[in-house]
Copies of this chain bind each other. A is one copy, B any other.
Amino acid sequence: MKAPRQSDVARLAGVSQSAVSRVVSGDIDRIPEETQDRIRAAVKELGYVPNAAARNLRNKSNRLLGVHTFESVFPHAREDFYFEFLLGIEERAEEIGYDLVLFTSTGTSDGRRRIYRDGTNRLNLADGTVLLGAATDREELARLWHDGYLFVHIGRREVAGADIPCIIPDYVSAADRIVTSLADRGHRHLAYLRSGIEQEAYADRRTGYRNAIERLGLQDRSPGYRGEPGLTEEWLGELASGPETAVVAENIGLAEDLRTGLAARGLSIPADVSVAVLEGSGDEPGHRWDCLVIPRKEIGRIAIDALVTRVENPDEEPVSQLVACDLVAGETVAAPGKKE
């Protein structure tokens, strides 16, 4: 009942184990057709299948790529956040013949996931790993990098002293282009509605916004991208009474709040104020925001390719990649409204 080995096949075919190994793994330069056939017949008869663990031990490659998130992979609240990335990851892995390991064994009781646990890094089971998720643990990332482990991260992550290879949605350019398109529509006075999130992706949004404002000589006064995060009454008041005709919001949640707040003041979108959002809106019901589109599936595919490149050329310097985000027109941007 035990699985047959190469030596079993060899005995049946009347050859040595190494001959079998050569045939099953394709190193057949010096093995005549006839012997090959005999070996293949024996393989078939015994139902031999190679032992992956032994192969891996012998070689050093697994054709196994890891996927690690610091939260549950199949997510609950953040469903659309991960899902599309995974789509691309799976699709590309399948195309190039790699399997995927979902690291779920690293869960702790508090719902977070740790890579290192009692000193053990389970990730080393795979040839390399794609890391993703909002809740990245910087310390672990740094340690992983210092250990020389092969990985790429989806989304930009900066850690002092480490040069993390990332696949980065180009928020800088997207934010710039969104501001530019508002300017093209005639808006000269903008406001930026920021969240409380301090993360590279948000820093990039702010950079892109600021760049465009300065380059185009637009006005971003109060409330401004430098202000306090969140949507306060004070912020709304300034916006309502100020000259701003357009708002750029960091994410959909903020934009929704903004709509409510404006409505309470008798202002509507986009008649009075145009609003663009620096986040993909997906297919949520309700108004269609003017926003950017993160090509998540594409990014997943690129991440796999980048990882495999690293796996196959371990000595080359890792390199981060920018991925362009498209802009999508919605119903929330118009020419400057009556407010002006």
Kindly list chain B residues whose C-beta atoms are within 8 Å of the C-beta of A104. Answer: 90, 93-94, 98-100
Q: Mark A81-118, 1 if CB is under 8 A from B, else 0.
A: 00100110011011101111111110100000000100
Kindly list chain B residues whose C-beta atoms are within 8 Å of the C-beta of A62. Answer: 53
Is A320 an interface residue when CB atoms closer than 8 A count as contact? Answer: no
Contact of A105 among B56, B57, B94 (CB under 8 A): B94
**Cα distance A148–B44 in the bound complex, in angstroms:** 16
Is A52 an interface residue when CB atoms closer than 8 A count as contact? Answer: yes
Q: Are B99 and A102 in contact (CB under 8 A)?
A: yes
Q: Mark A129-165, 1 if CB is under 8 A from B, else 0.
A: 0000000000000010011100000000000000000
A53-B62, A90-B73, A91-B72 in contact; A47/B147 too (CB < 8 A)?
yes
Q: How far is the CB of A112 from chain B (nearest CB, A)?
A: 11
Kindly list chain B residues whose C-beta atoms are within 8 Å of the C-beta of A119. Answer: 24, 40, 43-44, 47-49
Contact of A52 among B50, B86, B124 (CB under 8 A): B124
Is A3 an interface residue when CB atoms closer than 8 A count as contact? Answer: yes
Q: Are B50 and A53 in contact (CB under 8 A)?
A: no
**Cα distance A54–B125 in the bound complex, in angstroms:** 10
Q: How far is the CB of A143 from chain B (nearest CB, A)?
A: 8
Q: Mark A194-226, 1 if CB is under 8 A from B, else 0.
A: 000000000000000000000000000000000
Is A309 an interface residue when CB atoms closer than 8 A count as contact? Answer: no
Is A121 an interface residue when CB atoms closer than 8 A count as contact? Answer: yes
Is A241 an interface residue when CB atoms closer than 8 A count as contact? Answer: no
Shortest Cβ distance from A96 into B: residue: B105
Q: Are A103 and B107 in contact (CB under 8 A)?
A: no
Is A64 an interface residue when CB atoms closer than 8 A count as contact? Answer: yes
Q: Are B1 and A64 in contact (CB under 8 A)?
A: no
Shortest Cβ distance from A99 into B: residue: B105
Is A177 an interface residue when CB atoms closer than 8 A count as contact? Answer: no
**Which A30-66 residues sit within 8 Å CB-CB of chain B?**
40, 43-44, 47-54, 56-57, 62-64
Kindly list chain B residues whose C-beta atoms are within 8 Å of the C-beta of A40. Answer: 119
Q: Are A100 and B98 in contact (CB under 8 A)?
A: no
Contact of A101 among B64, B95, B97, B107 (CB under 8 A): B64
**Cα distance A47–B143 in the bound complex, in angstroms:** 9
Q: How far is the CB of A41 from chain B (nearest CB, A)?
A: 10
Shortest Cβ distance from A111 into B: residue: B94
Q: List 10 A-B contacts (CB under 8 A).
A: A3-B148, A40-B119, A49-B121, A52-B122, A53-B56, A53-B125, A64-B125, A93-B102, A95-B107, A102-B102
Q: Supply 11 further A-B pairs (C-beta < 8 A) apart from A49-B121, A64-B101.
A: A47-B119, A47-B143, A49-B116, A49-B147, A52-B125, A53-B62, A57-B57, A76-B87, A94-B107, A97-B105, A99-B105
> Which chain A residues have a beta carbon within 8 Å of chain B's beta carbons?
1, 3, 24, 40, 43-44, 47-54, 56-57, 62-64, 72-74, 76, 83, 86-87, 90-91, 93-95, 97-105, 107, 116, 119-122, 124-125, 143, 146-148
- Pairs A-B, 9 closest by C-beta atoms: A53-B56, A52-B125, A100-B102, A94-B107, A94-B104, A53-B57, A49-B121, A99-B105, A93-B104
